Amino acid sequence: MRIRKQTKTYDKETQVPVLRCSICTGEQVAGFRDKKTGKFIDVTLIQNDAELKKFMKEYGVEKINKEY
């Protein structure tokens, strides 16, 4: 039996991928911002480049904007 990894999805019509960064602590959280309401939905804490690359690969994100 072979297990396939599934790509996680998000609604590309209503959401945009965002990396929220704290200027005080340096903490980074990857998630999605609703284009209409501006509400941020956090998905995972990012502690290094490998975790960011993993998040982007899992969700099929090619480009992510940083917000401070």
Structure confidence at residue 7 (pLDDT): 72
How many domains, the chain?
Answer: 1
- pLDDT digit string (tens) for 20-33? 999 999 999 999 99
Structure confidence at residue 5 (pLDDT): 62
Looking at the DSSP assignment, which residues form a beta bridge with residue 65? 18
- Within-domain flag for 44: yes
- Within-domain flag for 46: yes
- Within-domain flag for 31: yes
Range of the domain at 40: 15-67
- Within-domain flag for 54: yes
Structure confidence at residue 8 (pLDDT): 87
Q: What angle do CA 27, 45, 51 make, to 5 degrees?
A: 105
- Within-domain flag for 9: no
Structure confidence at residue 6 (pLDDT): 65
Looking at the predicted structure, is the pLDDT value of residue 4 above 70? no
Predicted TM-score (pTM) of this structure = 0.83
- Within-domain flag for 43: yes
